[in-house]
Each structure stands twice: as C-alpha cells, then as structure tokens.
Structure 1
Amino acid sequence: MVKYDNLKDKVVIITGGVKNLGALTAKVFAKQSTRLVLHYHQEKDQHIANNIKIALEHTGVEVALYQSDLSNESDMIGLFDFAVKKFGRIDIAINTVGKVLKKPIVDTSEEEFDSMDTINNKVAYFFIKQAAKNMNNNGHIITIATSLLAAYTGDYSTYAGNKAPVEHYTRSASKELMAQQISVNAIAPGPMDTPFFYGQETEESTAFHKSQAMGNQLTKIDDIVPIILFLTTDGWWINGQTIFANGGYTTR
C-alpha cells in the first residue's frame, strides 16, 4: 500500500456529509485540497447542503452534492456512479450514516426494526460493496459504528444490533481487498455531542453517559475527525479494525 502523504486532488465520498460529523469531516478534507462528493439524506436539507457546498467552494475545492435515502442498492450505485462521472475516480469513501432508537425490545415494532436495519446495516453493507467496486487501488473505506458494540446495556438493541455487522463487513472486505491495497476500517465513537444523540436521551441518561468517559463528557465530533484523517494518511497500515474512540466509555 502507498501512504497518502498528500491528499491534494483525492476524491472523497462522505455519506451524511452536510451535518454534524460528516460536515466537519468534509471541512477538514477540504483543507487538504481534496475533491468532495457529499451525500445528504432528505430533500428538506437541500439548503444546508447548498450552504456547505458554497462555503467549501469558496476555499477553492470542488464539491458535488447527491441526495438519496440510500435505502436500496440502486441508490447506492447511483451515488458512486455520480462520483465517478463527476471526478473520474474515487480514492476515499467515508460512511457516517446512522440512526438511533432507544427502546426496549418488547416495545419495538417491526416497522421500527426494518427502518433501523436499513439505515444502520443495509446501507453500510452496500456502501462498502460499491466503494470496493469503484475505488482506486491504495484507497480507504471507513464506516462509523458505535461503542455500544462493547456495552452491556438494554434499550439500544436495534441500534447496536444493526451496527454490529459492520465489524464483520469491515473484516471481510479488508481481507478481500488486500490485492488492491485498499484499507477498510470502522470507527466506534462513544455517544456523540450532536442532535443525533439528544433526541433519545433524558437529562439523567445524558449525565450517566458523560460519567462513563474521561472528563465527564460526551465524545465530540472534533475527537473523531482526526482519526478519520489519520486512517487515510499516516494510519494507512491499520486495516480490518474497529477503533473504539470514546474516552474509556467502553473497552474490549
């Protein structure tokens, strides 16, 4: 594998790339003079997507936007075809898509399970598949998982359960793509200080989550983006791993 000492002109796909972790990741890669394909989920977020596109383009980078819920493989194929047609190649693919549901198993409906399974599991699988099919040699595939994979807890069965397969997809793909020298890794943050987290929690549960990590705080998106960048540069030798980055919230 060849380390990317310079990310200039590398083509980077980021799903969920206009909000929270995805948006900060896009901004950091923009500083490296990459070319960006930013996916966003809902049409109602088009103005947010356009604003980040304009802001990044003012820094001198090329940005393309793609809207889809990615709920079926044809949508995922469309995303990667769009990127290849726009920029000619793909070098780095980062999937930040996820959805949280905090609910006991006995209260979870089939509809809720199917929705969680699609967003956290199916999207991750076909993202890795299409990245593998379309990526240049010496590329990097990164998926955001969750530190709840190592937690002993109730109420997050669909979230942690549907994220759990990402570890297996990561290992399998990393082995299958060795000949192309494409690294495949997952990052498992602790509960992150974003709106993604707070919609499911109370003040009491938030305080508990904070108490489980260093500094009595939630994971910040600023804590995760440097790891993403590292895996595409100096961390090129890391492959097939799930990195738990959570301030000690959980351990293996």
Structure 2
Amino acid sequence: MSAPTTHRTALVTGASGGIGTAVVERLAADGFAVAVHYAGNRERAEEVADLARRHDVPTLVVGADVADESAVAAMFDEVERTLGGVDVLVHTAGVMRLAPLAELDLDDLDAMHRTNVRGTFVVAREAARRVRDGGAIITFSSSVVRLALPTYAAYAATKGAVDAVTMVLAKELRGRDITVNAVAPGPTATPLFLEGKPQEAVDGLAAMAPLERLGRPEDIAETVAHLAGPARWVNGQVIYVNGGIA
C-alpha cells in the first residue's frame, strides 16, 4: 500500500536497537510513515513496526546489510515502491566494541569500521541520491568523540569519521533544501551501552552529567524528531545530546 500524500516517510536504520526503536515510535507519533530497518533480527523489527502501527501510519519492515551497497539500494527501492519515497533518513545502525588501544583486536576495529564508517558512507550516499527535496538526513555520532574516554579509541575514531561525512554532505547538497546533521548521544540506557558494564561503571557514567542520570532513548528521539521536522535552519552540525557532560 502506498503512503497517502499527507504522510512524509522516514527510513530508520538500526531500528531494532534501543535508540532506533524510540526514534521509530516518535516519528510515527508525529505522523511519519516509517520504514523499519533491521540487519539480522526480523522478529524484533516486526515488534518495533507494531509500535509504529499503533499510530495508524503506513509501516514497512526492510532488511539490509548497511555496508552492502546493492542491499542498501534494494532497500531504498522497496521503500520507494511501497511508501512512495524517502523524506527523512535516520541512520542509527552501529556497533561498539571496547578495549584499551594497546589491547585492541584489529578484527574488532575492522568490524566497527565496516558498519560504522563504510555503512554510513553507503547509506548516506544512497540517501543523497534518493531523499526528496525538502527532506533531512540524520546520522549518528557519539559524545565519546569529545569525551575521549579510555577504551573508546577505536569506536570514537569511527564516529569521528561520521562527523566528517555529515558536515561535508551538508554542503554538497546545496540547492536541494535537504538538511544533514549528526546526533551525538552521551551515555544512554540502551542494551548496546549497558552490555558488559559493571553497575559501578554505569553509575559513574550517569553521575558525569549535571542532570545526574543516564540519557533515555526517548531523549535522543526527541532531538531526532526536531531535526526531521521543524529544525530547517539547523544544518551541517553535530548535535551533542548528553545532559551536559561535554
């Protein structure tokens, strides 16, 4: 079923994750038709899509390896065919593996580079070709680029690359009324963030913010919704959403 003309359409990658899920639900609540992307767990993606359907908006579940250009092109094809086009691309898909630099497994570095850097290039390239004029492209960076926390060197390096891609692409899309921004969350209570961390480490990270708590996925989704909708004069920026820790 094609989306009614009253709906703008958002494609959210990594939608099965904590932040991606919150973004899907928020954009659906704002009236967007939503394409829910997954890489490996379709069942979880269908659960996220059900959250969007509660808001009575057209919803589609699509799978793709974000680092595979053919798969990503096919994903955009399916969204265009079923929902009519793409107005907003939110690229939350990413992986994080932590280790001190001296102990870093280069296979972990390569895995993060493939998803976080190559994946961002592939998805952003397709979005630059497909997002309709007047739309928005929103990538995901991280506050650790600025915080420079121990064990985060490899992950922060991949997110620094995302920052560069985002700022350059914003200038390259001159004349099309498309905004391009990156959202850089701080410590946020998601499975990706909490996995493998002892409680004392989580408590210490929560205490860093003047607001004295971890971020919630809904906090990040609120910023995404602003960039996807009314924030038409915010462009080529990395927006730090971290409660004031950096």
> Aligned-pair distance for 1:58?
4.2
Deviations 1:48-70 (A, max 9, x none): 22233234334321111112232
Candidates 90, 108, 120, aligned match of 2:86? 90
Candidates 20, 23, 26, aligned match of 2:24? 26
Deviations 1:185-233 (A, max 9, x none): 0010101101111114222221221111023211111111111111122
Distance 1:106 1:238, change over 3 A: same
Candidates 119, 124, 132, aligned match of 1:136? 132
Q: Describe the SS at the equivalent of 2:175.
A: helix
Identity in percent: 26
- Pairing of 1:177-188 with structure 2 (within 5 A): 177-188=173-184
Q: C-alpha separation between the residues in 1 aligned to 2:193 and 2:124? A: 25
Q: TM-score normalized by structure 2? A: 0.93
Partner in structure 2 of residue 191 of structure 1: 187
Deviations 1:134-174 (A, max 9, x none): 01111100011100010132211111111111111111110
Superposition RMSD in Å: 1.6
> Aligned-pair distance for 1:118?
1.1
Deviations 1:3-43 (A, max 9, x none): xxxx941011000113311111111111222211110121x
Q: Describe the SS at the equivalent of 2:151.
A: coil
Partner in structure 2 of residue 3 of structure 1: none
* 1:13/1:94 contact within 8 Å kept: yes
Q: 211-220 vs 155-164, which deviates more?
A: 211-220
Q: Describe the SS at the equivalent of 1:180.
A: coil
1:218 aligns with 2:221: no
1:108 aligns with 2:104: yes
Partner in structure 2 of residue 62 of structure 1: 58
Q: Which amino acid aligns with 1:156?
A: Y
Structure 2 segments unaligned to the other structure (5+ residues): none
Count of residues in correspondence between the two structures: 242
Q: Describe the SS at the equivalent of 1:12.
A: strand
Q: C-alpha separation between the residues in 1 aligned to 2:150 and 2:54? A: 46
* 1:101/1:200 contact within 8 Å kept: no
- Pairing of 1:232-243 with structure 2 (within 5 A): 232-243=228-239
Q: Which amino acid aligns with 1:189?
A: P
* 1:8/1:32 contact within 8 Å kept: no
Q: C-alpha separation between the residues in 2 aligned to 1:230 and 1:123? A: 24
Q: C-alpha separation between the residues in 2 aligned to 1:58 and 1:204? A: 38
Structure 1 segments unaligned to the other structure (5+ residues): 1-6
> Aligned-pair distance for 1:107?
1.7
Partner in structure 2 of residue 166 of structure 1: 162
Q: C-alpha separation between the residues in 1 aligned to 2:224 and 2:52? A: 19
Q: C-alpha separation between the residues in 2 aligned to 1:245 and 1:94? A: 16
1:119 aligns with 2:109: no
* 2:15/2:48 contact within 8 Å kept: no
Q: 166-175 vs 13-22, which deviates more?
A: 13-22
> Aligned-pair distance for 1:180?
0.7
Partner in structure 2 of residue 51 of structure 1: 47
Q: C-alpha separation between the residues in 1 aligned to 2:118 and 2:233? A: 27
Q: TM-score normalized by structure 1? A: 0.91
